[in-house]
Amino acid sequence: MGTANGSPNGRTLIWRVYREAMPVLLLTVIAELFAGALLLNLDIAFASIIGLFILIPGLMQLRGNISTSLAQRLGSASHLGTISWEQGLNESLRTNIKAAFYLIFIMSTTLGFGAWLISTFIQQIAPRSGFLLLLPHFLLIALLTALLASAFQVTITVAVVLLAHARGLDPDNITIPIVATIGDILTIGCLIIGIIIAVTLIPPVPVII
């Protein structure tokens, strides 16, 4: 039965986690540097838009929390045998995907409204020149970014979990690092798309102090 630390089974488990997770973690470190470079360029390109960067930490965290939670649930479901590559898009998998998108819609709307409130308050106490975003801008950017990024990321999450399980790997060892890193890059890219669409449909208000 030996599964305690130091036992043969314990050492085997530790080696398996290390063997499966370490290459993925090394690749994600490199990918996160790329995500940081994208974020820096985003700062330079949209620095004149007042209040925009209040959204970014919330969107990154929102996407990360929901996608990693989905990855954990799907990993557990694959261990229990309720989802698998052979079973395809069964009821259990569909339910998890629907729950993720319901959360994304509700929380991104809340995030957009909250970012607008904070931006309005900051502009009142410490006004600055630039282009002021209105409530529709914040809601549209938050919704578009979250839904676009999550559509890609949910697909990637499901594929990674099912493929890892089908190939005899433990989804818990590799899914969350992959999902989190790809999600950071996708979120920044989708944020750029969301900003362009929002300011094109509803021109922001120029402010000169």
* Helix/strand/coil percent split, the chain, to 5: 80, 5, 15
12 CB neighbour count, 10 Å cutoff: 11
Write the pLDDT tens digit of every residue in 4-36.
455 556 667 666 666 666 777 777 777 777 777
**Average pLDDT score, the chain:** 81
| CA–CA gap between residue 76 and residue 144 (Å, rounded) | 30
Indicate whether 59 pLDDT > 90.
no
For 75-88, what is each residue's pLDDT tens digit? 888 877 888 777 77
Instruction: Output the pLDDT for position 7.
Output: 55
pTM to 2 decimals? 0.79
Residues 187-198: pLDDT tens digits? Answer: 888 888 999 999
Extents of the domains making up the chain: 8-207
- Regarding the domain delimited by 8-207, which CATH topology (the fold level of the hierarchy) does it fall under? Tetracycline Repressor; domain 2 (1.10.357)
